[in-house]
Amino acid sequence: MAAVTLLAAGSQPASGTSTPLDVSAGSTLRLNVRAEAIDAEYVQIFLETAPSASGPWRVLFEQRWTQSDLPRTERVLPPAFDAFVRARWEALKRGAKLNATERELRESQGVFNDPKLVLGITGDRIP
């Protein structure tokens, strides 16, 4: 058994993607997804897998938590995965209900207020 860190616990931007992690040496993967959000309406987390670090990616796990669900730790045991895994996430600040075009415009102008988000994903890879 080997410990793995998909995303080191800590403050994260409102949205992002972790660096792909090579898990090809394992047959079983157990991950603990820990999220805490302050001033966020929701946090949506995706765990994805791909045959190579460049993709193509497919979703293993998807979860959307509201402020009332957090803080939260969820154990994820993907039944089947490829050689690489990564995490993607998005948190939306309260009162910032924007459609995708509005959000992209605000982010490009640097005026989108990021919610405070603490996220970490660690676990074990079993050969």
Residue 115: pLDDT above 90?
A: no
Say what the pTM is: 0.80
pLDDT in tens, 55-104: 999 999 999 988 888 888 999 999 889 999 999 998 876 555 556 666 66
**Joined tokens for residue 74:** 């969820």
CA atoms of 61 and 95, how far apart (whole Å): 27
* Residue-range domains of the chain with CATH: 2-126 (2.60.120.380)
